[in-house]
Chains A and B, each alone.
Chain A
Amino acid sequence: MSFSLNEMEATAKRATRGAGYSWGQAEEASKAVRWLCAQGLDGAEILARLLTLGLASDLATHRPRQVDGPWQSDGRLCPLSAGPLLSDCAYLLKTAPVEMRDVVAPELLLPFAANAARVLKCWISVEIDGSLAVTDGDHLAVLDVLPAAARRVTVSQGVAPEALRNRHTRAQPAPRNWDVLNRFAHQTYAPATEESRLLGAGAGLSDND
Chain B
Amino acid sequence: MKTQAHTHIDRRDPETVMRLSRLGSLHQCRLSFMRQLTRRMARENWSFSRPVFDIDANGVGTAVYTAHGPERAYSLVAFAHDLPPEKRSDRVIADAWDATFALFDGIPTQADIERLSKNVPLQETGRVSETELSLSRANRSVRLWEHVVDALAAGQQPDLQQIYQVGYLMRTTAVYGSGKFGAADRENIANRPETCAPFQAEMLSVYLTRAFVRDLVQHIADAKGGDQAAKLDPDIAHWLGIGNSTGLGMAPFIVNHPILFNNWVMAREEAIARVRSVETSSAAEVDHFRSTFERSQLSMTWWRSEHPLQIEKLAALNADLQAISDYVDQVGLTGNHPWDRLVSWSQTKLSEEGQEYLASLILEPYADLVDGLASCMADGNAEAFVIDGSMPISEVRDLIRDAFGWAVDLDWASRENCARAWYVSEEKLEPRMGERFEEPIADYEQPLAPARDAAAAHAMLSEWDDGQPVAEFLLRHPEHRHTVRRAQMTRSAPYGEIRDNTIGATVVPLDMLRAKLSFFGATHFDPRSDRWVRICMYAGAPYPEELTSENADLWVYPEVPA
Please list the residues of chain A having a beta carbon within 8 angstroms of any beta carbon in chain B. Answer: 1-7, 14, 21-25, 27-28, 31, 59, 63-64, 66-67, 81, 84-85, 87-91, 115, 118-119, 169-170, 186, 188-193, 195-197, 199-205, 207-209
Query: Does B15 touch A at the CB level, under 8 Å?
Result: no
**Interchain CB contact under 8 A, B179 and A4:** yes
Partner pick for A208 among B85, B181, B472, CB 8 A cutoff: B85
Interface pairs (14), CB distance under 8 Å: A6-B180, A24-B480, A66-B472, A87-B387, A87-B389, A88-B388, A88-B389, A169-B187, A193-B439, A196-B425, A200-B434, A201-B248, A203-B529, A208-B85
A177 CB to closest chain B CB (Å) equals: 17
**Interchain CB contact under 8 A, B179 and A195:** no
**Interchain CB contact under 8 A, A84 and B478:** yes
A160 CB to closest chain B CB (Å) equals: 20
Interface size of B by CB at 8 A reads 73
Residues of B within 8 A of A28 (CB): 481
Query: Does B532 touch A at the CB level, under 8 Å?
Result: yes
Residues of B within 8 A of A84 (CB): 387, 474, 478, 481
Query: Does B24 touch A at the CB level, under 8 Å?
Result: no
Residues of A within 8 A of B472 (CB): 66-67
Closest to A200 in B: B432
Query: Does B245 touch A at the CB level, under 8 Å?
Result: yes
Q: How many angstroms from the CA of A76 to the CA of B393 in the assembled complex?
A: 29
Given contacts A81-B478, A118-B386, A199-B435, 5 further A-B contacts (CB under 8 A): A84-B387, A89-B389, A89-B469, A201-B93, A208-B88
**Interchain CB contact under 8 A, A85 and B471:** yes
- Name the residue among B88, B93, B182, B185 with the largest chain A CB count within 10 angstroms: B185
**Interchain CB contact under 8 A, B386 and A209:** no
A103 CB to closest chain B CB (Å) equals: 15
**Interchain CB contact under 8 A, B475 and A67:** yes
Closest to B166 in A: A209
Q: A169-B188, A195-B439 are in contact. Are A207 and B245 (CB under 8 A)?
A: yes
Q: How many angstroms from the CA of A17 to the CA of B443 in the assembled complex?
A: 12
Q: How many angstroms from the CA of A1 to the CA of B181 in the assembled complex?
A: 12
**Interchain CB contact under 8 A, A208 and B142:** yes
A73 CB to closest chain B CB (Å) equals: 11
Closest to B306 in A: A205
B419-445 to A contact mask, C-beta < 8 Å, 1/0: 000011111011011110001110110
Q: A189-B426, A203-B532 are in contact. Are A2 and B182 (CB under 8 A)?
A: yes
Closest to B532 in A: A202
Closest to A18 in B: B444
A174 CB to closest chain B CB (Å) equals: 17
Partner pick for A22 among B248, B478, B528, CB 8 A cutoff: B478
Closest to A9 in B: B179
Query: Does B92 touch A at the CB level, under 8 Å?
Result: yes
Closest to B143 in A: A209
Closest to B453 in A: A23
Closest to B139 in A: A207
Closest to B433 in A: A200
Partner pick for B474 among A88, A191, A201, CB 8 A cutoff: A88
B142 CB to closest chain A CB (Å) equals: 6
Query: Does B238 touch A at the CB level, under 8 Å?
Result: no
Query: Does B184 touch A at the CB level, under 8 Å?
Result: yes
Partner pick for B485 among A24, A188, A203, CB 8 A cutoff: A24
**Interchain CB contact under 8 A, B432 and A189:** no
B82 CB to closest chain A CB (Å) equals: 15
Closest to B478 in A: A22
**Interchain CB contact under 8 A, B441 and A196:** yes
Top 4 nearest A-B pairs (CB, nearest first) are A24-B481, A88-B389, A6-B179, A4-B179
**Interchain CB contact under 8 A, A22 and B482:** yes
Residues of B within 8 A of A1 (CB): 127
Q: How many angstroms from the CA of A31 to the CA of B383 in the assembled complex?
A: 12
B396 CB to closest chain A CB (Å) equals: 12
Closest to A169 in B: B188
Residues of A within 8 A of B532 (CB): 201-203
A105 CB to closest chain B CB (Å) equals: 17
A85 CB to closest chain B CB (Å) equals: 6
**Interchain CB contact under 8 A, A4 and B184:** yes
Q: How many angstroms from the CA of A88 to the CA of B471 in the assembled complex?
A: 6
Q: How many angstroms from the CA of A195 to the CA of B90 in the assembled complex?
A: 19
Q: How many angstroms from the CA of A203 to the CA of B447 in the assembled complex?
A: 24
Q: How many angstroms from the CA of A1 to the CA of B130 in the assembled complex?
A: 12
Residues of B within 8 A of A21 (CB): 478
B153-197 to A contact mask, C-beta < 8 Å, 1/0: 000000000000000000000000011111111111000000000
Query: Does B390 touch A at the CB level, under 8 Å?
Result: yes
**Interchain CB contact under 8 A, A190 and B475:** no
Residues of B within 8 A of A67 (CB): 471-472, 475
A78 CB to closest chain B CB (Å) equals: 10
**Interchain CB contact under 8 A, A4 and B130:** yes
Residues of A within 8 A of B280 (CB): none
Query: Does B247 touch A at the CB level, under 8 Å?
Result: yes
**Interchain CB contact under 8 A, A196 and B434:** yes
Q: How many angstroms from the CA of A5 to the CA of B130 in the assembled complex?
A: 10
**Interchain CB contact under 8 A, B479 and A190:** no
